[in-house]
Structure 1
Amino acid sequence: MSNTNNLMVYIQCDENTPINASLEALSKGVELGKENNLDVIVVLIGKFDENTEKICKDYGANKIIEAAVEQYNIKSYGEIVTKLVKEYSPKLFLAGTTPVAKDVTAYASSKLDMVSLSNVSDIKMQDDFEFTIALYGGAVLRDASINSDTTKFAILSSGAFKKVLSPVDNVEIIKEDCSEQTKDLLTIIKESVTEISESVNLEEAEIIVACGRGMGTPEGYKLVEDLAKQLGGAIGATRPVTESGLVARTQQVGQSGKIVAPKLYIGCGVSGAVQHLSGILGSDYIVAINKDEDAPIFEVADVGIVGDAMAVIPLFMEEIKKVK
């Protein structure tokens, strides 16, 4: 398969709104497109509307391909991506880190016998694309290149790239007929049950207040919850706290939970195991409250407060009230 001057970005939506991880991928795609004279093609699969199109235009898409599908199915989504990659032969196919994006890119790259890279934290292009991959929770960075003329698939680490507005006036919109890709499915999802948890999606939250083992009691959680409400943020948690049942598993932050990149992260009683730290390094500003002055989280925190979070948080909230 010969390459064209196309770069393709898969955009995942939540209620017709592109999610942050996808917009981060689009922003990086637009940057690469401008530097290397590549047309940036957005791929929308599922449900979307004029607002979805507008956001993609605002973030720099040159072309938008829309494939309307009623519900997610790995085979139908994967077959659509496979078809589009065959048709447009992009040099690079980008996606943000989400379970759906991982499924779809793995399906399509396997079907096409192409290489897919995950946890990509940087991309540069000289003669060809050069990728930086984060390993072991970000503790090791490895440079890699793919010796192939076919499309390269890359799933970008959440928070590794910033969303950047780059409005485009004239954008071509293509309605894709995907009837062939959505028929004869081996599995059809009849009903989906979602666990009731925080109303704010952690990956989309601008402020996250995390409950660590040091606050892993009903009284401690109540303080964390009060602080999050006061700041208008979402509640996150470390693995021991979610395993105790105090906080829903959907709110777990870290290598085995959600990779987040809020503007403000506050860790309350969070010691900072490497698995948790790997999930918060994309945060713009990190505040840590822990009574252990040697806690690893202080090594990555912008502000560290040594003290018992049960005593510090009430004082913290009083100061916030004064500012407000």
Structure 2
Amino acid sequence: METMLTVEKLNKSFKDKQVIRDISFDVRKGEIMAVLGPNGAGKSTTIRNIMGIMYPDAGAISFRGHAEIPRHKIGYLPEERGLYKNVKVMDILLYLSELKDYPLKKARERALSYLKKFGLEGQANSSVEELSKGMGQKVQFISSIIHEPELLILDEPFSGLDPVSQELFKHEIRHLAENGTAILLSSHQMNLVEEMCDRLFMMHNGERIIYGNMDDVKERYANFKCTVRGKSDLDVLQGLPDLERVEQDEDTSVLYLAKDVQAVNWLKNLPDNLSVQELSIDRISLHEIFIDIATDGNIAQREGVTHA
């Protein structure tokens, strides 16, 4: 798979504080690559360096092996939304596409098509300030993809969207990737990241913590957990072997299994008289991995900096 964006040993400091340290990753054609981390991890600084909004102190950023990044081939949805409020929707879309040297006629056709797809048919002549927040976000998203970018950078694209609009965005992002667009996505909504992304790069305190294929990351870091719904004696559950911990809330118990435990074999340890209305076993979620790293960093301390 062709590599579209390469970031190598990126470093950036503000005064005496180093914000990112030796950050390296790549984004490939047709994939959705997540950049994750708690607030202050260095995600936005990394994205701004890629976009040329600021420049790194050291390191290199290249597009298809070339140091000069062609801005007209990149789409960018910033976390801080901002469109000219007193300008008509169609005018702003055509203006932004013109800045990317995109043909006017084709831009108008794509704008009308996307407005219809996103439920904004009839809003072409409305000013941005007349739109709701969600509608405005749809227009900004359209503006980032109207010129058919080869690389699309999305910073918190789902923030503030209702579930229906989230589904629209998810469908379009997947469609773009299937058609060859390389997508770099930053989001705090771990369930959506886990559902959509092919690979991930997780940062903490400006450094790489986890980098790799989503399935490989889940297999390496996400131990199994067993969820039991039914009245259960906490002392009995805590006495079961190969557990890291047990959490209990009313009639639901969550048993977190130790690393490398074979889940099917472990189930044989459950007592015959255990009250079970429902039982499920799966791996802990990306959300739980994220929380672990963002709080006490157990995974990072246990595994070290890793390319899964």
Same structural fold, with TM-score higher than 0.5 when normalized by the shorter chain: no
Rg larger in structure: 2
TM-score, normalised to structure 2, is: 0.28
TM-score, normalised to structure 1, is: 0.27
More RCO (CA 8 Å, sep 6+): 2
